[in-house]
Structure 1
Amino acid sequence: MALLSKGTLLKLGDGSTPTEVFTAIPGVQNITVPAVVLDDHEVTDLDSTAKEYIAGLGDAGEFSFQLVLKKAAAGNGYHAQQAALESYVGDGELHNFQVVLPAPFSTTYEFAAFVKSFTPSSATNAAITATVTLRVSGDVTKTVA
C-alpha cells in the first residue's frame, strides 16, 4: 500500500551543544533525502581479463528543495527558520539538518550541509516561494525509531 508523504519534515539544528535541538522548517513542498554515491577507481592491471574497480569515498552531493515563504510571527520578513536559511547563504558554515519520514517508516536522516543558495520567486496568481540548495558535507546518518 502506498503512503502519502504528509508529515515528512525537514528540520534545522540550532547548533547548541551537547544536545542540539532541531526545529521543522515550515512550508517545505518537496525534499529529497541525501543519498551517498560512492566514487569508483579503476585498478585494472596487465594481469586483468576485464576492467577492475574498487570503491572510493562516498559523496551525498547537493540537492534543492522548494518552500512556500511564510511571514514572521511578528513584524516583517520570513518565518524564523526560513530567515535563518537565507542568512546562512555565504557564511561558509556547516549547519545540521534532519529529514524525518513519518510512521510507519519512522526514519530520520541527519547530515551537515552549507546553504549554497536561497532564491525567492513569485509568479502570477501563485504563492511566493523560495528554492534552497544545500551542499552536504560528510556522512548521512540514518536512524529508525
Structure 2
Amino acid sequence: MAGRDGFGTLLKRGDGATPTEVFTAIANPTNISGPNLTRNTIDVTAHDSPNRHMEFVGGLINPGEVSIDINYDPDVHDTLVEDLEDEDPRNYQLVFPAPITATWAFAAVMTGFQQTAPYDGKLTATLTFQVSGKPTIS
C-alpha cells in the first residue's frame, strides 16, 4: 500500500471542562511529530544465560514527546505560553484527516515554546509537550 497524505492533521488542545471537554485545534500547524513511544529494557542476563548471550525483558514504556511547528502569530499563540506555567497535564488529541479515522488522545505537559523570527522569512514557533501516561487510540 502506498503512503497516506498527512495534510489536514490536527493537534487539538482540551479546555479542561467537565463533564464535556471541548478540544480546539492549535492554529497554523506546519509539522506535527510524535508521540514517539519507546520501551526501556531490563537486563536479566545471568551466569547461566544460554550461549553467552545477554537476555532482556521489556520494561516501562516512555510515551515520549509531541512537537508541533506552527506559523507563529503572537495574537493567536501567546496564550499557549500559559501552559508552561501549568504543572498538571492537559488533554490533547492528535486527529488524522479523512479517510483515516484514527485519533490519538493523551495528557501532556508543555515543556517548550520556541519562537523564531528570521530577518528574511516568516515567524515560526515550535511547541513541545511531554506525554504523561498511555495514549489511547480510537
Residue 132 (structure 2) pairs with residue 140 (structure 1) = no
Partner of 1:122: 117
- Tell me by how many angstroms 1:90 deviates: 3.0
Unaligned runs of 5+ in 1: 71-76
- Is 43-52 or 1-10 further displaced after alignment? 1-10
- Tell me by how many angstroms 1:19 deviates: 1.9
Unaligned runs of 5+ in 2: none
**After superposition, where does 1:1-145 map in structure 2 within 5 Å?**
1-49=2-50, 50-70=53-73, 77-79=74-76, 82-143=77-138
In structure 2, C-alpha distance between the alignment counterparts of 1:84 and 1:112, rounded to whole Å: 19
Q: Could you say what secondary structure the match of 2:28 adopts?
A: coil
In structure 2, C-alpha distance between the alignment counterparts of 1:3 and 1:61, rounded to whole Å: 23
Structure having the higher helix fraction is: 2
Q: Is the 8 A contact 1:90 1:116 kept in 2?
A: no
Give the % identical residues.
38
Structure 1 residues 31 and 9: alpha-carbon distance in aligned structure 2, compared to 1, 3 A threshold: same
In structure 2, C-alpha distance between the alignment counterparts of 1:126 and 1:31, rounded to whole Å: 20
Q: CA RMSD in A?
A: 1.6
Segments of 4+ moved more than 3 angstroms:
none
- Tell me by how many angstroms 1:84 deviates: 3.3
Q: Could you say what secondary structure the match of 1:18 adopts?
A: coil
In structure 2, C-alpha distance between the alignment counterparts of 1:133 and 1:3, rounded to whole Å: 24
Q: Is the 8 A contact 1:35 1:140 kept in 2?
A: no
